[in-house]
Structure 1
Amino acid sequence: MEHYLPDYVKIVLLFYLGGENMKRMSFEPPTDHYDEQIEAIDEQICNLIKQWKDLSNNNPGFPTKQLITNWAKEYNFYEDFLNSVFADFLNEEIYRPIVEPKGFLKNIPLLKSFEKDNKFYSVTFVRQFENASVVHLNIDRISSDEMFEWHQREHTYFELSIVGEGTHYDCRNEGGGGSRGHESFTFIVSPSLPDDISKYKLVFKEYKVPFQKPTGYEFVI
């Protein structure tokens, strides 16, 4: 039986699992005109989205299937269109401006690891640039699963946060990939991390794709 994935799910999967070479394309307006009669309505839409974020503390969840069905009938929309709209609201972070590392300085050995349930997590070095740092998380596992079973299993990804001394760090998951025995994820951290590795900790939290559902699993190295 063939499984159908809506386009909005495919986009998010590509972002999180597409690897570090996947770069965002510049946006081009899909039309050459704009009906200025609806400018006030469009501004109201922006205002309502802002209220929606504030009221829910930017954690709104997702409308139930019945609500989507009701609204589609009431306002004459396709259900998948509404699913796509509300799904996009949950993925604002993927549109955050990208910091491209520039001005390579050096590699700093880190050699830190964590092991649990036959999985070995490691970060061997931090790549330092003038405006950012690049962190590679490696995951190695002992697995006897058949390749088909590996592809069928539920996929997850990791997000990185930095615990340091007063500085706020923006951490972007640039994607990842691998095989049944090895995976890796690349993160861009800005501003650059201190050269002294004792001044910060790397906190990795696991999420399910495509809608950033935390699994509750995290570790610090």
Structure 2
Amino acid sequence: MKRMPFEPPTEHYDERIEAIDEQLCDLIKQRKDISNNNPGFPTNQLISAWSEKYNLYEDFLNSVFGQFLNEEVYKPVVEPKGFLKNIPILKSFEKDDLFYSVTFLRQFENASVVHFNVDKDDSDDMPGVFPEHTWFDLSIDDVEGTDYDCRNDEWGGGSRGHISYTFIVSPPLPDDISKIKLVFKECKTPFKTKPTGLEFVIKMD
């Protein structure tokens, strides 16, 4: 999924605040370093106190601190280029009435694309009532300890009984995937902040 190029909302910039804006960038970096990039979220009491003390709207502060949690979303996206081949996987995991499967992956010169599906029997679902949507995080475990970047290319689409996801993995997975493990974690939000506790591994051997 290609990201639209950013365009500044205005051409105006008051250069008198340039030093302050640079300080903000420095403070953001310090915040990441001190918290090991895992800061959590300020309590409602703190947000309310800061809102009153600094004359800022509470919803604005909630939005600002929410963006700090989502920095990874803005990491440059690898666009798969140079298609090489499809590799069938056909591996699955089942829990309760849900069937999770990796059907195949597409190999490109600079990335791999993992196709992941979630299926369920929706025959007993009430018409017009949709189940709570969840998201999945993918990480790669291999014997080499390779640091793979796994990006959810689409937040999941389909029908009530079927949802499909695609993950862009870079660098690309090796052609010999027998020692690769795909680790899936379910989350209540698209930014990995509220795991549901469901985690499973699909081995590629």
**1:156-200: CA deviations, max 9, x gaps?**
100111001232111000121122211111100011111112021
Contact 1:206 1:217 in 2 (8 A): yes
Deviation per residue, 1:114-165 (Å, 9 max, x gap):
1111111111111000100000111111232214332xx4321001110012
- 1:36-185 matches, within 5 Å, as 36-143=15-122, 144-150=124-130, 153-164=131-142, 165-175=144-154, 176-185=156-165
Q: Answer yes or no: is the 8 Å Cα contact 2:80–2:112 preserved in 1.
A: yes
Number of aligned positions between the proteins: 198
Aligned to 1:4: none
User: What secondary structure sits across from 1:63 in the alignment?
Assistant: coil
Match of 2:167 in 1: 187
Separation (CA, whole Å) in 1 of partners of 2:104 and 2:17: 52
Is the 1:109–1:125 contact (alpha carbons within 8 Å) kept by the matching residues of 2? yes
Residues 73-108 of structure 1: CA deviation (Å, up to 9, x unaligned): 111111111111011111001101010000100001
Please tell me whether residue 203 in structure 1 is matched to residue 186 in structure 2.
no
Note the residue ranges of structure 2 that are not aligned, 5 or more in a row. none
Q: What is the alpha-carbon distance in structure 2 between the residues aligned to residue 179 and residue 219 of structure 1?
A: 23
Q: Whole-Å Cα distance in 1 between the matches of residues 43 and 138 of structure 2? A: 30
Which secondary structure does the structure 2 equivalent of 1:148 belong to? coil
Q: Runs in 1 of length 4+ with deviation above 6 angstroms?
A: none
Instruction: Using the TM superposition, give the Cα deviation of residue 54 of structure 1 relative to its aligned residue in structure 2, in angstroms.
Output: 1.5
Using CA pairs below 8 Å that are at least 6 residues apart, which structure has the higher relative contact order?
1
TM-score, normalised with respect to structure 2 = 0.91
**More moved, 199-208 vs 65-74:** 65-74
Cα deviation, residue 23, structure 1: 3.0
Counterpart-to-counterpart distance in 1, 2:127 and 2:170 = 37
Is the Cα–Cα contact under 8 Å of residues 111 and 169 in structure 2 kept in the other structure? yes
SS at match of 1:197: coil
**Aligned-pair distance for 1:57?**
1.7
